[in-house]
Amino acid sequence: MRFFRLLLGFATSATLLSACESAPASRSEKMVNLASVQSGPQIQAQELDGAIARQPRKASLYARRAAFRLDAGQVPAALADIDKAIDLDDAPGEFYFTRARALRAQNRLQATLEAAKEASRRGFSSPELNLLVGETQLAARHYQDAIDQLDRTLQQEPDHAAALFYKGVAYIALTDTIQALQYLRASISRDPRQPETLHQLAFLSNAYGLPAEAVVYTRRGLKLAPSYGLLWYDHGRQFELQSQPDSALRCYSRALTLDTTLYRADYRLGLAAFKQRRYAAAIPHLQRAVRRAPRLPNARQMLAESFENQGRTADALAQYRLLVAENPGNRHWTYKVWKAGEKARQLRADTLYRRRPVAPIAPMPQRFTPTLTN
């Protein structure tokens, strides 16, 4: 349950980000709580259907329904509505802001920036617009541009928790850890119930060898979001840094159960199995880890050696060749390719030229030879 998702949780009113998940695709037949954040926007959008049927040329109705549909997670329908509103009336800058939000929800970064620029050109100005542009620039890895836009948000609202959070993330990308911690701590002090912020603080604390600080953040975060895999990984990492490997491995396994994309948890589990010479157990974890992050320290080497120890020479050879490609001129990996290649050739030769066992020949049946008598 992440609060600061890539601005997909923008609310239609002054509340900028919401903790809700996307609305379900279909409603049950039970009475729906109209106050619920998940169901509310969907119902509100449906209630506008009749008004639009009566006034099909009123642009503001389409724009309102687009905003509700966007909050309900109905992104294509929201985009169609806001495009219809703009076709009917292209003057309001707010319409282009809603369009930018919908485009961002589809991860169309350049189109998002263009729509946001058009919103500004048509007179729309708000902290939400600057935040949207800043977060989109962050997603596009334009870190300084992102910081500039987030600064504009903070000039308008100095205690804006989301802007402080994204600015901290930008400084992480720029490897300015001091600034990153400063802004992340400021964000969590304004909004203490954000698991994503607590994850970032725990991750940085672990990275700098401060597990005693990390565990404070992970415990707080797991109380808020017990099914958040990244926090379970952070929790495991602080156990590992405090020399509690069994607890760490349990947390890594839990993290993977909750989120199979957490390659760092796979890496840690694979590393532990490799060190214990449990090569068969290490292989699947290391395979997933290198598939998602090929440059993890020694991950491909451990995978190659695990294959080799399991007698999977062809698989080991393939990994050693990749190590040579990643480390051109490295004599060790070049030798390993030669050695594994020789072993693979010997195995092929043995398969091709091994003499087949000769089946025993059945004894010839004795023929009855009649005795000739005179």
Neighbour tally for 167: CB within 10 Å: 27
| Interval 239-274: pLDDT, tens | 999 999 999 999 999 999 999 999 999 999 999 999
Question: Residues 46-83, buried b or exposed e (16+ Cβ, 10 A)?
Answer: eebeeebeeeeeebebbbbbbbbbbbbbbbebbbbbbe
Q: Total structural domains in the chain?
A: 1
- Whether 213 is covered by a domain: the verdict is no
| CA distance linking residue 273 with residue 194, whole number of Å | 34
- Whether 146 is covered by a domain: the verdict is no
| CA distance linking residue 289 with residue 64, whole number of Å | 45
DSSP code at position 25: S
pLDDT-above-90 percentage for the chain? 74
Asked whether the predicted pLDDT for residue 45 surpasses 60, the reply is yes
DSSP code at position 6: S
pLDDT at 85: 96
Read off the pLDDT of each residue in 324-351 and give the average, rounded to a whole number.
83
The pair of three-digit structure tokens given for residue 127, joined into one six-digit string: 């902290």
pTM as predicted: 0.78
pLDDT at 44: 81
Neighbour tally for 12: CB within 10 Å: 16
DSSP code at position 37: T
Read off the pLDDT of each residue in 353-368 and give the average, rounded to a whole number.
50
Asked whether the predicted pLDDT for residue 290 surpasses 70, the reply is yes
| CA distance linking residue 147 with residue 34, whole number of Å | 38
Read off the pLDDT of each residue in 31-37 and give the average, rounded to a whole number.
39
| CA distance linking residue 87 with residue 78, whole number of Å | 14
DSSP track, 246-313: HHHHHHHHHHHHH-TT-HHHHHHHHHHHHHTT-HHHHHHHHHHHHHH-TTSTTHHHHHHHHHHHTT-H
Helix (H, G, I), strand (E, B) or coil at 158: coil
| Interval 94-124: pLDDT, tens | 999 999 999 999 999 999 999 999 999 999 9
Q: What does each C-alpha distance from 372 to 366, 367, 368 come to in angstroms?
A: 18, 15, 12
| CA distance linking residue 4 with residue 333, whole number of Å | 43
Q: Which domain, by its residues, includes 95?
A: 38-125
pLDDT at 190: 97
- Whether 345 is covered by a domain: the verdict is no
pLDDT at 48: 84
pLDDT-above-70 percentage for the chain? 82
| CATH number for 51 | 1.25.40.10
Looking at every residue in the chain, the average pLDDT score rounds to 86
Burial of 91 (0-12, 13-18, 19+ CB in 10 A): exposed
DSSP track, 321-365: HHHHHHSTT-HHHHHHHHHHHHHHHHHHHHHHHPPPPPPPPPPPP
pLDDT at 359: 54
Asked whether the predicted pLDDT for residue 372 surpasses 80, the reply is no
- Whether 90 is covered by a domain: the verdict is yes
Decide if 29 contacts 54 (C-beta within 8 A): no
Helix (H, G, I), strand (E, B) or coil at 367: coil
Confidence of residue 329 (pLDDT cuts 50, 70, 90): confident
- Whether 367 is covered by a domain: the verdict is no
Asked whether the predicted pLDDT for residue 175 surpasses 90, the reply is yes
| CA distance linking residue 162 with residue 183, whole number of Å | 10
Tokens 């590992």, residue?
240
- Whether 99 is covered by a domain: the verdict is yes
- Whether 225 is covered by a domain: the verdict is no
- Whether 240 is covered by a domain: the verdict is no
Confidence of residue 23 (pLDDT cuts 50, 70, 90): very low
Question: Residues 287-312, buried b or exposed e (16+ Cβ, 10 A)?
Answer: bbbbeeeeebeebbbbbbbbbbeeeb
Confidence of residue 46 (pLDDT cuts 50, 70, 90): confident
Tokens 């974890």, residue?
285
| Interval 218-233: pLDDT, tens | 999 999 999 999 999 9
| Interval 73-98: pLDDT, tens | 999 999 999 999 999 999 999 999 99
Confidence of residue 304 (pLDDT cuts 50, 70, 90): very high
pLDDT at 343: 81
| Interval 130-174: pLDDT, tens | 999 999 999 999 999 999 999 999 999 999 999 999 999 999 999
